């Protein structure tokens, strides 16, 4: 049977898995380069479980439609199935600015045109970008955040996945973390924001006529409060609230290493959660939600960000500015490739609740104080790691990642 074609606006779209995409609105024709599926041999232990791989990339959230479509095209050419964009709430907002909404609509349209599932991280603007922001910790500001969130849900019908919060266990994104007596403040406030956001998005879903998946927290694996400590404080807030409904459809965490030199096979320790700490994460989720209305045993988990920063070769230095942080410990691109492949393999082979693995960035940030964890340099030229990582993405989605340890 010939494959059906769908037309979305002026975009001729083929079902997912067919690489040719004709973008008639922009006069651009693109075809992703074909990559061979890795052959299987009897002596090798393969993952068999399929996992989705996404890219965290805000470049397609653009007020220039051509930039948005070009970014979506380049993401699709990695073999990734999804993209995560961000929407940042500014204190007092009850709806996004017209400029922000236009950029999000452009990004959503571009992602949909290229067959990319869209995940939107919705959270208070970071204190690095918005130093005058105030975290929505009281009922009044939380209500404004809810209105802003509902507005996004109604005006972005292409987006069915919302992640509420971004590293709210870090002072970069939520303040205060503690009360004057030293007790937790952030987990209680973030729990209330999560519960309220779940309710408003489910109402928006009913009005839209199709469900919205509400994902929880987007915690930092480390943070000002470790992920383990923060989950325990969420447990206290949830149980003491008396709530008899779930607060999320799935859980999101950013399992970075201690620095970019730490391999994903190494545990972080001290209550921090990296890729190798899956058993600790599951134990914390069980402790937090067992016996409540929030399911935990089969709770889908997304590794919302994982990035390994690379050294910048002298020939590329003119495309960057500033000074690299001394704690980053960037690695060679070949090591980045190795770490990304090992991390995806660990998820596919031994972490059954993890359903998606997001690589942090397609292209490096040009500011050295930012992140240089893309598989491309900031000028969009590929790193040495790019081809191997793209192959691993394909292998992850076809059950051909190699398991280093025997499957359980």
Q: In this predicted model, what pLDDT tens digit does every residue of 210-268 receive, in sequence order?
A: 999 999 999 999 999 999 999 999 999 999 999 999 999 999 999 999 999 999 999 99
23 and 157 together in one domain: no
27 and 47 together in one domain: no
Backbone phi and psi for residue 118, each to the nearest 5 degrees, phi listed first: -110, 130
pLDDT at 20: 32
- Is 203 a member of any domain? yes
- Is 93 a member of any domain? yes
Residue 206 CB contacts under 8 Å (≥ 6 apart), including other chains: none
pLDDT at 6: 34
Q: Whole-number mean pLDDT of the chain?
A: 90
Are 133 and 183 contacting, i.e. CB atoms less than 8 angstroms apart?
A: no
How many Cβ atoms from other residues are within 10 Å of residue 30's Cβ?
A: 18
Dig out the tokens for 144 from the structure.
């404004």
**Which of the four pLDDT bands, split at 50, 70 and 90, describes residue 33?**
very low
Q: Is the pLDDT score of 26 beyond 60?
A: no
The domain containing residue 19 runs over which residues?
Answer: 1-31
158 and 215 together in one domain: yes
119 and 22 together in one domain: no
As a whole number, mean pLDDT of residues 12-27 equals 34
pLDDT at 44: 65
Helix axes 65-76, 98-113, angle to 10 degrees: 40
**Which of the four pLDDT bands, split at 50, 70 and 90, describes residue 35?**
low
Q: How far apart are CA 84 and CA 223, in angstroms?
A: 21
The percentage of residues in the chain with a pLDDT greater than 90, rounded to a whole number, is 85
Measure CA of the first residue to CA of the last residue in the chain; give whole Å: 39
Q: How far apart are CA 263 and CA 105, in angstroms?
A: 37
pLDDT at 405: 52
As a whole number, mean pLDDT of residues 109-133 equals 96
Q: Could you give the number of structural domains in the chain?
A: 2
């Amino acid at each position: 049977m010939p494959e059906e074609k769908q037309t979305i606006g002026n975009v001729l779209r083929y079902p997912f898995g067919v690489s040719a995409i004709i973008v008639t609105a922009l006069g651009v024709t693109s075809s992703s380069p074909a990559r061979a599926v890795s052959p299987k041999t009897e002596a090798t232990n393969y993952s068999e479980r399929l996992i989705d791989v996404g890219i965290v990339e805000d470049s397609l959230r653009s007020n220039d439609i051509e930039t948005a479509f070009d970014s979506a095209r380049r993401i699709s050419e990695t073999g990734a199935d999804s993209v995560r964009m961000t929407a940042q709430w500014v204190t007092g907002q009850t709806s996004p600015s017209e400029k922000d909404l236009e950029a999000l609509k452009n990004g959503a349209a571009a992602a949909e045109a290229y067959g990319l599932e869209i995940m939107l991280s919705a959270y208070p603007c970071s204190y690095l970008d918005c130093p005058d922001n105030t975290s929505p910790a009281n009922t009044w500001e939380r209500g404004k955040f809810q209105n802003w969130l509902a507005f996004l849900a109604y005006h972005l019908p292409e987006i069915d996945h919302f992640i509420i919060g971004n590293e709210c266990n870090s002072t970069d994104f939520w303040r205060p973390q503690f009360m004057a007596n030293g007790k937790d403040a952030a987990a209680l406030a973030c729990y209330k924001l999560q519960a309220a956001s779940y309710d408003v998005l489910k109402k928006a879903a009913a009005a839209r006529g199709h469900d919205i998946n509400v994902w929880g927290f987007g915690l930092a694996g480390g943070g000002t409060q470790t992920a383990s400590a923060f989950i325990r404080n969420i447990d206290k807030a949830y149980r003491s609230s008396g709530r008899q409904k779930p607060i999320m459809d799935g859980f999101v965490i950013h399992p970075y290493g201690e620095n970019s030199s730490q391999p994903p096979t190494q545990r972080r320790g001290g209550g921090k959660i990296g890729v190798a700490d899956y058993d600790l994460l599951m134990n914390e989720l069980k402790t937090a939600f067992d016996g409540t209305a929030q399911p935990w045993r089969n709770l889908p988990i997304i590794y919302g960000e994982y990035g390994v920063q690379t050294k910048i070769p002298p020939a590329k230095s003119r495309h960057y500015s500033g000074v690299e942080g001394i704690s980053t410990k960037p690695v060679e691109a070949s090591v980045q490739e190795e770490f990304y492949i090992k991390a995806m393999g660990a998820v596919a082979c031994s972490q059954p609740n993890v359903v998606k693995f997001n690589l942090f960035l397609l292209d490096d940030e040009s500011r050295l104080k930012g992140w240089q964890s893309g598989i491309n340099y900031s000028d969009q030229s590929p790193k040495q790691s790019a081809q191997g990582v793209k192959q691993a993405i394909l292998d992850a989605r076809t059950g051909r990642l190699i398991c280093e340890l025997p499957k359980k």
